[in-house]
Chain A
Amino acid sequence: MPSIEQGLYQLGRLDELAGQDTSVHRLDPRAKVVTTLVFLICVVSFGKYEILSMLPFAIFPIVMAGQGNLPLDFLARRLLIVAPFAVVVGMFNPLLDRAVVVQLGGLGVSGGWISFTSIMIRFGLTTVAALVLVGTTSFYSVCMAIERLGAPDVFATQLLFLYRYIFVLGEDAMRMARARALRSFDGRGMGLRVYGHILGHLLLRTYDRAQRVYLAMLCRGFDGQVRVIKAPHMTGRDVAFMVGWSVAFLFFRFNNVPLLLGRVATRVIA
């Protein structure tokens, strides 16, 4: 099952990118998490027919990816992989909502198509922002930042282990899938029933492993809290980053920037 291998490789790649040393990578993880959160809330809270006023938000991931040295084709590929989910979510809008709201030349555009576009833009912005966050911060630092921002320990620890063991679990699954493929012929043995058995087996194995990992943690004095060695300090630069972008997001949120620009432009011309 090459898709599992691919997936693991891509995750590892994201980790490597996060290990770079650029001005964006050096920012305090908390500053990046908060900024991204404000970004997400602003984008998600737009009305369902908004398109234009969301566009300025693209500046944030573009600047971050540029400064953080994240390859665009990597981000684009990740985005495409998740895209089908967003398409499924918005798929029925054009069918259900057929009232024409805008006339473009001779073409009537229905509300459904507009809200579909809006969903796709929203999806693109939020996904890229999340990718950029992890690609410039590392999953581990994000978890620790969430914890220090006041999220429950259990939550941060869960995320951390999810990330660490997805590699082990993925390799387990890969080996089982390979073993099955080796003894399946003419499509026999590749059915859903066997798939169910494999999943069940994987679950039991994971459960066993979870217990062993927990023992290993207890052995080394685990008491429910994962500690960090160096708690980073927020510097003026971090605060400036956070406040600066947040203010910009709020401005984008409550002003239709493309429209403003358009008005200014027409006034200059006139």
Chain B
Amino acid sequence: MSHHTIEMRDVDFSYPDGTPALEGVSFTITHGESVAIVGANGAGKSTLLMHLNGFLMPTSGAVRVGDAPVTKETLRDVRKTVGMVFQDPDDQLFMPTVHEDVAFGPMNLGLPVEEIETRVDDALERVNASRLKNRPPYRLSGGEKRAVAIATVLAMWPSILVMDEPTSNLDPRARRDLIELLRTFEHSKLIATHDLDMALDLCDRTIVMKDGAITADGPTAEIFSDDALLDASRLERPLSMRDPGPGDTA
């Protein structure tokens, strides 16, 4: 078995106030796969991601990351394996400088100083952010913050990358750069997003969620051509897959 797998079996989850958020969620992601999770607002995407890191524990059912089930005892290893990039980079960049922020994780792993420095430099280089090393995070632009947030996760050497809306709030160029960057990663990837064009670009497989349940799971191109399914899930075809309208001559 490899570290690079995620498995959810019949996961139910209700918030403490009784609101059901996930119902019978099951899927397996294998080594090296890129999977998009799409669905309307409130469909349960973020709740699902929270389970992959043990922030939320299923009310019933089981989550496995790599070889181990996610339990209180395995949390440390699970969190080392799963690198999570949050939706708002300001939540993730909490140290006074970029350098210290990227070093935060490796330092908590108790690595020797030289190793930490190498990892910080490598991670920043991977996301083309070496020049930001000594800047305070609050002085960065949206795109730079996102890149650094990804670097903080890469420095932990995770096997799986989990991202919540990585392209939100980015200008078109920053979005394109990010997509190209993500394409270079060999990690297993799970990306929750509303950016269906990105999903089409990056992910061979897509999981569709609605009201806390999975309504479809299959090849991305197939799912995005199923208009009935998209409509029922309050989604639309990605722009690049739309037929030219009557007004268009192209």
In the complex, are the beta carbons of B108 and A222 less than 8 A apart?
yes
Determine the distance from Cα of A213 to Cα of B84 in the docked complex, in whole angstroms: 12
Q: Counting CB contacts under 8 A, is B23 at the interface?
A: no
Q: Are B91 and A213 in contact (CB under 8 A)?
A: yes
User: Is the beta-carbon distance between A229 and B116 smaller than 8 angstroms?
Assistant: yes
A221:B79 contact, CB within 8 angstroms: yes
B119 to chain A, nearest CB (A): 12
Q: Pick the most buried of A161, A163, A215: most chain B CB atoms within 10 A of its CB.
A: A215
Say yes or no: is A230 at the interface (Cβ < 8 Å to chain B): yes
Complex interface: chain B residues within 8 A of A167 (CB): 138
Residues of chain A with a CB closer than 8 A to B84's CB? 216, 219
List the A side residues contacting B92 at CB < 8 Å.
213, 216
Chain B residues whose C-beta falls within 8 Å of the C-beta of A216 in the assembled complex: 84, 86, 91-92, 94
Judged by a CB distance under 8 angstroms, whether B103 is at the interface is yes
Judge whether A168 is part of the interface by a CB distance below 8 angstroms: yes
Instruction: Tell me if A160 counts as interface (CB < 8 A to partner B).
Output: yes
A217 and B94 form a contact (CB under 8 A): yes
Q: A12-B139, A221-B105 are in contact. Are A164 and B95 (CB under 8 A)?
A: yes
- Tell me whether A220 and B96 are in contact in the complex, defined as CB-CB below 8 angstroms, given that A15-B136, A212-B91 are known contacts: no
How far apart are the CA atoms of A221 and B116 in the complex, in Å? 14
* In the complex, residue of chain A having the shortest beta-carbon distance to the beta carbon of B138: A167
For window 51-76 of B, CB contacts with A under 8 Å fall at: 53, 55, 76
Q: Kindly supply a per-residue 1/0 record for chain A positions 145-179, scoring 1 wherever the CB is within 8 Å of any chain B CB and 0 otherwise.
A: 00000000000000011011101100000000000
Assess whether A221 is in contact with B90, with CB atoms less than 8 Å apart.
no
- Count of A-B residue pairs with CB < 8 Å: 76
Residues of B within 8 Å of A138, CB to CB, are 96
Number of residues of chain B lying within 8 A (CB) of chain A: 33
- A140 at the B interface (CB under 8 A): yes
Contacts of B55 in A (CB 8 A): 215, 218
Interface: B104 (CB within 8 A): yes
Contacts of B138 in A (CB 8 A): 12, 164, 167-168
Query: Cβ of B76 and Cβ of A213 under 8 Å apart?
Result: no
Contact of A219 among B79, B90, B96, B109 (CB under 8 A): B79
Expressed in whole angstroms, the minimum distance between the Cβ of B159 and any Cβ of chain A is: 14
Closest residue of chain A to B79, judged by CB?
A219
When the two chains form the complex, which single residue of B83, B94, B116, B156 contacts A164, counting CB atoms closer than 8 Å? B94
Q: CB-CB < 8 A to A223: which residues of B?
A: 108
- Shortest A225–chain B CB gap in Å is 8
**Chain B residue nearest in CB terms to A220:** B105
Note all chain B residues with C-beta closer than 8 A to A215: 53, 55, 86, 91
Which residues on B sit within 8 Å (CB–CB) of A163?
Answer: 96
| Smallest CB gap from B53: residue in A | A219
Contacts from A to B (Cβ < 8 Å): 12, 15, 138-140, 160-161, 163-165, 167-168, 209, 212-213, 215-223, 226-227, 229-230
What 6 A-B pairs are tightest by C-beta distance, nearest first? A221-B108, A220-B105, A140-B96, A212-B91, A167-B138, A227-B107
B residues lining the A interface (CB < 8 Å): 53, 55, 76, 79-80, 83-84, 86, 88, 90-92, 94-97, 100, 103-105, 107-109, 113, 116-117, 136-139, 152-153, 156
28 A/B residue pairs, CB under 8 Å, sorted by A: A12-B138, A12-B139, A15-B136, A138-B96, A160-B96, A165-B94, A167-B138, A168-B138, A212-B88, A213-B92, A215-B55, A215-B86, A216-B86, A216-B92, A217-B104, A218-B53, A218-B55, A219-B83, A219-B153, A220-B79, A220-B104, A220-B152, A221-B79, A221-B108, A221-B109, A227-B107, A229-B107, A229-B116
